[in-house]
Structure 1
Amino acid sequence: MGLSVFNYFWLVVSFIYGKVFHEKMSEGVTHFFKNLSYVGFGTFIGTAFLFTFNVLVGRLLGPLEYGKFSLVQSISMFLYVPMLMGYHNAMVKYNAEEEKYDRQKNVISTTYILVLIFTTISVIIYLFIPQKILEYFSVSNEIFDLCILFSVLYAVYMLLTATVNGLHKMKAFAMITPIYSTILLFTFLSIAYIKPLSYKLAIFSMLFSYLITSCLILIYIRKYLTYEFDRKWAHTLTNFAIYSIIGSMTFVLYPNINQILINMYMSTENLGLYNAYSFASVNIASLIFNIFNGVFFPVASKCKDKTVILKRINRIAPYLIIFGTIFIIIVEFIILNIYGSKYTIKIPLLFSFAILSILIVYYGTYNWTFSSEGLDGVKLVNKTSILIAIINVILAMFFIPYLGLIGATISTSIALVIGVYFLLSKGKYFKYDKI
């Protein structure tokens, strides 16, 4: 029975692939989809627990406390970037290029030492941030201290996850999200009875889950861990990371700056409502994209001719935009109803968040394709990301005070459209003018 279901699945995949690309699946494409199925299956299981956790937190805490919960995560996304400094992306690229144990061991150990240095420096700087800066962004000391701790554990988790990804251990990579989400949900359920129920309990559950999952990954990859520091690899990794960090910062900026500005111009309760919509749309779309990209980026890094990849992206884009938008709207409606009556469903917000979600996926696909080209690709992506971030911040500061939550989605959507156009218009720079 299991075999027949699996065979039917591949028949469907092969049929759709043939209709879209007008060719049979090659051995490389088949291998890609098999790895994708591993990651997709694992993420699907993990998503069920993550979904349950987020809905429970939203329903039990209400918009105000849920807003604080969202704020901690949003600020932490900014704080963790200087800790990793883009080295995790560089590690994935260079480990994925050649599967040689000694090379991979040197890359990993050198990356870890560099990240440890930058994490230590970052934490010291954060501890001395002036109170006036926190007050300007309407952030209390208590919340900011939690953000520092959250960012450290999240950086460690991201680094270890990237390690498994770069080693092409796709079955193990597929298990990470289910393990993390299972620990997360059961930890929260174990302490949810504590009164008064606050955002801190939800954050503690996440911190504990990151810690345990990271320890398990460390055990799994222990044979690659040494105290060796290779200066040559440090130089190579740093060259890639310097440009990657700009892209990472701006990629974090435009989805999270909206939440910080909403907290400034509106209220924490409105932030909770925004986060519910964002989870039901942007997070779901990003989750699906991360499944794809977890397999796609290592494969794209190996591929010498990126024109083939770009042609396939262009061909599938109309299907993504049409069916993706419809899918996200349906998912949004279902999830927001589960959140409860405190989270009002508004049709304009449903559509605006759905469109934003698809644009993020659409841009992300091109972003990582060009990044897989190497330093030149990363430079172009950085220019594009900076452009998107600047446009988004300017528009958000204007639209949010006047249009409210929908102003945030409009500003980011406009910025992404301009960013995609800019990125593709520079295709000739990479001799992609025939795509």
Structure 2
Amino acid sequence: MAQKKSPLLPLGLPEQVDGLATAPSDLGDETQERFRYQWAIGVWLLAQSLTGDRTICALWCEHHEDYLLELSTGRYVAVQVKTDSRENARWRWSDTALVDSLTRFCVLEKIHGAAIDCYEFISNAAPYVPGVTAKRVESLAASPARLIQCCCQASTYLDVPEPYKIAFARLVNKTGGNAAVLFQVLRKLKFAQGPVLRGYDDTFAVSIVPKLPGCAALSAVSCCRLRDELIGLVQAACRLRVDGIDGAVAYLATNGRPDAAIRGKCITPESAAEVLARVRQPSFLYVNSGAGIDIGVNVGRTDVLNRKMRNAYLGSQFEPLRMRMDAADQRLMERALLESDNFDSIANQLISTVLVECKDAEAMAFDHADEKTRGLAIYKQILQRMDSLAKEEPERVCREPKDTLMGIAGMLSGECKFAWGTPLDEDGQDGT
């Protein structure tokens, strides 16, 4: 059977040789994936603190190194994260990326070595360790594990035995020429192996997230969501940014960067624990509440909403709420088509949640002294509550944004499910 041709692509497939099949080389995608892997390792480091495996006061992102762990003792651990996409790759002293990391560690050791407990090189690939049959001098000397072990056993770098002394001498030339500093770095250097590049997301969701405090009973979906939120927390700290008033005018550190941006590189275990608490929070679900609205039927609803809002001195807010109402109606119809099997429960949860929140806002403002400002106080509280639900409890509102929730509030009001604190004359005594 003839193969079906792909739809026309702008400029065709990239990097094709004479129009023939050619393996792609998308450096942009690869770079982004490696950054995400680094952020995931940051989550793993935070997890060590949250589970009590290591006491960390703070995780500093892209500060001196990829990560700088601030320990409770006031000392530090410097971390470099590198990935290698080669099949069955093993790190050797001939690898430029490893030597570059070692060079950075040597610079840090020379300036701050007295305050640094150890250096960690974390990667998806392990360091090369010779087998029992390995005899070639070059093969033995290429092993990071062997050289580190020899340095830990020696009193000074002069005592490193052959053939590892040759590898040490070569590294001295590559890392800045200071043998004493390199010797100290190698004595402090540790390797750690992370998950493979393909599938590390699943590994984190299955093997790391459930071990965090209070997360053992989380569903697979919640584990993935928590993983993504924690990675997002690390990602934000790794990026140079300035928020708030400092975004316009900022005090600069001696390196010319805004002080606020440097402070923003710090993540405490407490801030990570707040993310855990938010995701672990069970969503309150309404079951067959009986609340309902007519979807796709706007006849008369807009007029009722207009009169209710004018009656509550909210006429200036009618137009933006009407636009949200119409958009929310369209949004619900789309979800009804796309998620027909469980749309009834989705609609029930959304409508019940919004109706209860609106009724609560009315009740909170019942004794508001000024009738002319009561409606505005209710509207403001509903706005804030819908925004809070969308951001902090997305599961409870089926991941709909604030504007959808406000639109549903308008639909409920237009169908006389609630007023804005001041019922119309024809409404019942309870405002419905």
TM-score band by shorter chain is: under 0.3
TM-score, normalisation: structure 2: 0.22
Whose relative contact order is higher, 1 or 2, with alpha carbons under 8 Å and at least 6 apart? 1
Work out which of the two has the higher radius of gyration on C-alpha atoms and give 1 or 2: 2
Bigger fraction of residues in helix: 1
Q: TM-score under structure 1 normalisation?
A: 0.22
